[in-house]
Amino acid sequence: MKTALLFAGQGTQIGSMAIELYQSSSAAKTVFDRVKEIEPSIVELCFCGDQVELSKTKNAQPTLYVVALAHAYDWMECNNMPDFVAGFSLGEIPALVFCGALSIENGLNLVIHRAKLMHECAENREGGMAAVIGLSSCQVQQIVSEVDSLWCANFNSPLQTVIAGDNASIDKAKERVFELKGKLIKLNVSGAFHTPFMQEAADKFLLYLNDVKFEKLHTPLYSNVDAKLYSQKQIKQRLAKQIMSPVKWSEIIVDLNKKGVTQYKEVGAGSVLTGLLSKILV
């Protein structure tokens, strides 16, 4: 019986999402205490941040990073190391820490820098994201190909694809989605993440990563960019490219299933990834 640990990404944040975990788990408390020594404001946001503050990219990413790691180490107190690890977007960074590539502190600094770059890029290039539900990924890709400044950003499941780009382009695509009997739900995010709108952030992040040392991974970890396992020499390039490339989540889960994984554990603030499993593995 094989197990995969799934690290949640941005969008799962909720107010007061960590105080109970901090009080109930010694392993989680250690994570929060280490982060508190570097950035106490992040821990404060994990415990007391409201939804408005937590929705800002510069706050959401570091808080979710800490919460995901705290849940992961809490889970490890009673379980063996998983056979595979995967992280959704932001979730790849705490996943890298969990797999031994970075220390908690270095991972935090990396996330803070990533969030800052993406926040700035979103401010300079206004855009949005929306989930298209009920249409196949091929149908959504066809719609996107017919609209300027619009891309597929997340392949969440066979019938759920997130599109991103200009807000006007999303509105234009909405008409076509409705014609095909699908549903479109705009997401409460500050930019068109995982699209070429984030090219500048990706380029600057790669420059930052050039000075970061990654240790050898001790557990197989999937990349969002191509739904394949990381190799040591590809970490920096893939992490940077991931910012402006679509998340191939559905492909990752399908491959995990082919490799014999039967148990999945989501670590983070919610259960979004767990909810997608039944939609992917049909």
Active site residues: 89, 194
C-alpha dihedral (29, 30, 33, 39), degrees to nearest 10: -110
CA distance 112 to 26: 25
Contact 217, 193 (CB under 8 A): no
CA distance 70 to 34: 11
CA distance 182 to 131: 10
Beta bridge partners of 173: none
With 0-12 / 13-18 / 19 or more C-beta atoms within 10 angstroms meaning exposed / middle / buried, residue 197 is: buried
Residue keyed to tokens 């066979």: 158
Q: Give the H or E element holding residue 257.
A: helix 249-258
